[in-house]
Amino acid sequence: MDSKGRNVARVIELIGPVSKPYASAAPASDRTDTGKEGKKLYLG
């Protein structure tokens, strides 16, 4: 989810240590010009 609560991606896998995991995600749509690259996303 982005900061406005919209679904923007689907989590594929979680990687890294349990204390600081990273999520590998796939975009929720085919649009590539969403402006979300490099932005923080939230798990809801």
d(CA 38, CA 36): 6
Could you give the number of structural domains in the chain?
1
pTM, to two decimals: 0.51
Residues of the chain with pLDDT under 50: none
> How much is the pLDDT for 36?
62
Residue 43 lies in a domain: no
Could you list the residue range(s) of the whole structural domain that residue 12 is in? 1-32
Residue 10 lies in a domain: yes
Q: Under a CB-based contact definition with an 8 Å cutoff, are residues 37 and 30 in contact?
A: no
* Ramachandran category for residue 23: left, alpha or beta (phi over 0 → left; psi -120 to 50 → alpha): beta
The label of the residue with tokens 């923080």 reads: 40
Joined together, the tokens standing for residue 27 give 């975009």
